[in-house]
Structure 1
Amino acid sequence: MKIIKTFCLLASFIVSTWVQAGGNDEVWRQALTGEHRTPAYVQRDVYRHPQATLEFFAITPRSTVVEIWPGGGWYTEILAPLLKDQGLLYAAHFNIDSRVAYFRNSRSAFDSKLKANPTVYGKVVTTDLMPPQHVVIAPAASADAVLTFRNVHNWMKSGKADAVFAAMYQALKPGGVLGVVEHRAKPGTTEQAMIASGYVTEAKVKALAQQAGFEFVASSEINANPKDSANHSEGVWTLPPSLRLGDEQKAHYLAIGESDRMTLKFTKPK
């Protein structure tokens, strides 16, 4: 009798796992290919590898995630539908009453985007991140993961990198994941050159994270681009999608594609 009961329990577990895996596949498919996605954003998937990147950061449909400075919502378009039924997404954006017009306008456009499609974005919780006044990006120790995409150079420029990494540490559960994607500078690049170019060394990102208390776990070459020399007249903004030089050598920069990027995973110690 015990053998039969054990077999039934095992069979039930296998079926449940199989069903959930299939369900997760469908959730991923809808998040990546749904009609809510901006066509121009979809074209960047070839450079940004969203599913592989998020899976490297251990994101599942059940995760509680904080996305840092989501900008126009490129990753929000994927994370929001992925998490809306079983997980939770916090979008830690600029504060709407910032004295900087760019920050106010970016936040306003993001808020409008969310309000325009409540089916996809209705459960997104928007918070403010602008040190030193605004640093509570989610309830303390509540997030399974905090993710930042191509933001570290901005925090270095404003002198707020330490405060942001501390805020991310505070929001994470013990054992939670900090995922960082950033434009990658060559080893030995000076800090001044990093700020000017938008490219940051892996050593600098690791130092900032470890200073905040994080432990380095692993790196991935998911978002590497060996065509990118990381040496351009207008820094990383020379390349798409910015193409700051306009038509000047446009074909050349389009052929390079988006920047070479590090993909680093850290954890908050248990």
Structure 2
Amino acid sequence: MRGHSLLAACLFATLPVGAIAESAIASTIQSAVADPSRPADQRAADESRKPAETIAFAGVRPGMTVGEFYPGGGYFTRMLSDVVGPKGHIHGIENDRWKGAVKADAELVASGQLKNVTMDSAPFGTVRFPKPLDLAWVTQNYHDLKIAEYGVVDTAAFNRAVFQALKPGGTYFILDHEAPAGTTTADIAKLHRIEKAQVIREVTAAGFKLLEEGDFLRRPGDDHTLSIFDKAIQGKTDQYALKFVKPLH
């Protein structure tokens, strides 16, 4: 073991500083995903949700302040908490109409395991955080902002508020289910999908720049005309990941 450690140290020392940093972050993310304290049902979802790829693509780093919209009981919250570490913080905000999620979020905080996590609940579309964010996070819920049953939201105002909540250079990360071309608001409510093109159009209109697209959850075999809850494709939908940035000036 001593020899292997010395060899690893020598190899590690030859890497550029940037490569070392990225390697350390990748290791932190893998440890967060492998955390044995995560509930079994959430770990079972990892194969389809690809949390390591998702967190890495979003650019989560130790020390970050993250605003997580609609944690839904904390599937990502636990892992984000591990990655940002004690110098970072996760501020979750839940739709107050989703009582089950509000309860699950409260129980997560009450457990005392995640010292760097706070949870809030508010009317759908509310954007309020105690300090400027490095990263705003919305996974599989942007389309819900279009569903009046959950609360009537002015999506343009929501995106502008997220823009204001972020530090200059901050990231707005959105992951959602692809929809057929021409999907209407009524269709979104039925399918629980939204077109990538629509999200890009709306978010850039608020002042953001599209920085990168991730294809790690793209599934060309998905039938976009089916609801994401249809058993034929549930858990196997075609999803896009979008990373937007708030310009420095």
TM-score (structure 1 length as normaliser): 0.76
Kindly tell me: are residues 18 and 237 of structure 1, through their superposed partners in 2, closer, same or farther at Cα, counting changes over 3 Å?
A: closer
CA separation in 1, counterparts of 2:121 and 2:207?
22
Displacement of 1:59: 1.1
Asked if structure 1 preserves the Cα contact closer than 8 Å seen for 2:88 and 2:116, the reply is no
SS of corresponding position for 1:75: helix
The residue that corresponds to 1:30 in the other structure is 31
Residue 131 of structure 1 contacts residue 164 of structure 1 at CA under 8 Å; is this kept in 2? Answer: no
Q: Which amino acid aligns with 1:196?
A: K
Aligned: 1:149 with 2:150: no
- Per-residue CA deviations over 1:7-51 (Å, capped at 9, x if unaligned) read xxxxx9x79878766654543233111122111211222222212
Asked if 1:200 corresponds to 2:194, the answer is yes
Q: 1:257 to 1:91 in 2, by over 3 A?
A: closer
SS in 1 for 2:74: coil
SS of the residue 2:72 aligns to: coil
CA distance in 2, matches of 1:145, 1:258: 27
Q: CA offsets, 1:79-101, max 9 Å, x none?
A: 11222323221111234xxxx4x
Is contact 1:68-1:93 (8 Å) kept? yes
Larger radius of gyration: 1
Q: Runs of 5+ in structure 2 lacking a partner?
A: 1-12
Name which of 118, 126, 138 aligns with 2:119. 126
Structure 2: which amino acid aligns with 1:73?
G
Following superposition, the deviation at residue 257 of structure 1 comes to 4.0
**SS at structure 1 position matched to 2:145:** helix
Unaligned runs of 5+ in 1: 1-11, 240-252
Aligned: 1:267 with 2:215 = no
Q: 1-side partners of 2:144 and 2:84: how far apart?
A: 27
Structure 1 stretches (4+) deviating beyond 3 angstroms?
14-26
Q: Which amino acid aligns with 2:128?
A: V
Return 57-66 or 142-151, whichever deviates more. 57-66
Secondary structure of the residue aligned to 2:182 is: coil
- Between the aligned residues of both structures, percent identity stands at 23
Q: CA deviation at 1:124?
A: 0.5
Q: Residue in 2 aligned with 1:65?
A: 66
| CA distance 1:238–1:267, change in 2 (3 Å) | same
In the other structure, the counterpart of 1:185 is 179
Note the alpha carbon deviations across 1:120-179, whole angstroms, 9 max, x for none: x122122344257x431342xx21111100111211112412333223212111111111
Cα deviations by residue, 1:209-263 (Å, 9 ceiling, x for unpaired): 122221112211111112211222xx11114xxxxxxxxxxxxx26x74211111
Partner of 2:49: 48
Q: Output the CA distance in 2 between the equivalents of 1:147 and 1:173.
A: 14
Cα RMSD of the aligned pairs, angstroms, is 2.5
- Partners of 1:181 and 1:211 in 2: CA distance: 18
Take 2:202 and 2:191, find their aligned partners in 1: how far apart are those partners?
18
Distance 1:28 1:257 in 2: 22
Correspondent of 2:102 among 98, 104, 107: 107
SS of 2:228's equivalent in the other structure is helix
1-side partners of 2:19 and 2:180: how far apart? 44
Contact 2:66-2:137 at 8 Å conserved across structures = yes
User: Structure 2 vs 1, CA of residues 204 and 109 (structure 1 numbering), >3 Å: closer, same or farther?
Assistant: same
8 Å contact from structure 2 (residues 135, 166) kept in 1: yes
* Cross-structure match for 2:9: none
> For the Cα contact (< 8 Å) 2:127–2:161, is it kept in 1?
yes
Q: Secondary structure at the match of 1:189?
A: coil
Q: 2:26–2:56: 8 Å Cα contact kept in structure 1?
A: no
